[in-house]
Amino acid sequence: MVQPNQTTFQPIKSSARINSLDVIRGIALLGILLMNINGMGLPFSYSDPTITGGGATGLNLKVWIVNNMLFEGTMRGLFTFLFGAGAILLTSRLEKSGAGITTADIYYRRILWLLLFGIINVYILLWHGDILYPYAIFGLMLFPFRNAKVKTLFLAGGLLILIGVLWDVQDYRNDLQIQKVGLEIQPIKDQGLELTKEQEEDLKAYEKLITKKTPEEVEEEIQKMHQGYWAVLMEKVKGNQFMQTWLPYRLWPWDILSFMLIGMAFFKLRIFHGERKNSFYFLLMLVGYIIGLSINYIETKTILNHDFDKLAMAKADQTYQIGRLFTTLGHVGLFMLFIKSGILGFLQKSLAAVGKLALTNYLMHSIITSIIFYGDGFALYGELQRYELYYIVFGIWIFQLIYSPIWLKYFYYGPAEWIWRSLTYQKMQPFLIKK
């Protein structure tokens, strides 16, 4: 029996791509920058605008509220849905073409190269909030689920989200206990009485819970990021290690793997193909937004009413994954209706192009913002107010929406996509479109 030669298998052709997937991927890619820009340009204030970036007043507060209600975790959620869908698209196409066991070879090689892209993005391009590394880690777990039933995928994804919610609830209960014990010990210390070693440890935990970064700590962090490239890289190492070790254990299984599995189910149900009735997408949007935005509103009010107190944020975190899930579902319904309507065709075409160049454009975010914010560039880290960061975001959006469709007139892939596909298929892929 002749075995298939893996070199005969090629990346999906442009004519065979699913346009709606590319458009939503483009929207998600641009939307992710709405949240990432806060970590790229401001110290210690991704979730807490009171620390830096002009404080929690005026436009800065309004920007935070809009992001927290509509975009926090949801653009990442969309992108993660599509990653899961992409796993089905790739493996099913290979298996139908007769790849056999080579399907696994190609799939895992693709994921392992993505892992390297993630490491480069973190340690070379200096973006500590990189998503490629955890995508690769959990992407390794998707292959056995490619033939799973839709019901199984939904149950597995839902179970993971439930575990994450229960863990967040337990963390909040632990914080309440730390507060209770700390409030009991503080008067003892204030009276000048000697504390036991256990009481001292409990009081330290309480002080850590209620203490925010000081202006001196903020300024020190800003000055570190205003240094040259090598100094910034070395300063980020410890934080990068934390992001790539603790988060994949504590957060990403319920945040990323769960959404990947649901995305696989959505692909199997042809939801991303635009084949469902408009009434289905409208209902998905309506139910998603009613539930998701209601939860997000309660979380936002809780945080605002307690002036961004850490305990209030921990309380809001209890329902974070649920609100994020339903708001993301609302986005899916809305964007699919937008795509099916055919309105703003020029914009949809540009968004699809951004989505086709997703890896290149994502890495470009890191490169551009490193130049803007760190010392070897314009050293604007910590210098702009929160709302001013969005001038940069909009500038990047306009640039990528313009250049992406132009690029694809002359090249089959973006440079990062070309490298990734060539490495995956162990063969140089065509790059320049010959006219």
Do residues 143 and 87 make contact, with C-beta atoms less than 8 angstroms apart? yes
- Spatial neighbors of 49 by CB under 8 A, at least 6 apart, are 55, 56, 60, 61, 64, 308, 386
Report pLDDT for 17: 74
Q: Is 422 exposed, middle or buried (0-12, 13-18, 19+ CB in 10 A)?
A: middle
Residues present in the chain in total: 435
Residues 399, 157: contact at Cβ < 8 Å?
no
Return the pLDDT at 72: 96
Position of tokens 């920007």? 63
Distance, CA of 379 to CA of 158 (rounded, Å): 43
For residue 293, the tally of other CB atoms under 10 A from its CB is: 17
84 with 138: CB under 8 angstroms? no
Distance CA 104, CA 9 (A): 13
- Report how far apart, in Å, the C-alpha atoms of 415 and of each of 3, 22, 219, 411 are: 32, 17, 38, 9
Alpha-carbon span 178 to 202, nearest angstrom: 7
pLDDT in tens, the chain (435 residues): 334 444 456 665 555 578 999 999 999 999 999 999 999 999 998 889 999 999 999 999 999 999 999 999 999 999 999 999 999 999 999 999 998 999 999 999 999 999 999 999 999 999 999 999 999 999 999 999 999 999 999 999 999 999 999 999 999 999 999 999 999 999 998 888 888 999 999 999 999 999 999 999 999 999 999 999 999 999 999 999 999 999 999 999 999 999 999 999 999 999 999 999 999 999 999 999 999 999 999 999 999 999 999 999 999 999 999 999 999 999 999 999 999 999 999 999 999 999 999 999 999 999 999 999 999 999 999 999 999 999 999 999 999 999 999 999 999 999 999 999 999 999 999 999 987
Q: Quote the pLDDT of residue 1.
A: 38
Q: How many of the other CB atoms lie within 10 Å of CB of 399?
A: 13
Phi, psi of 411 (to 5 degrees): -130, 145
CA distances from 194 to 224, 353, 386 (A): 39, 67, 44
Q: How far apart are CA 321 and CA 96, in angstroms?
A: 36
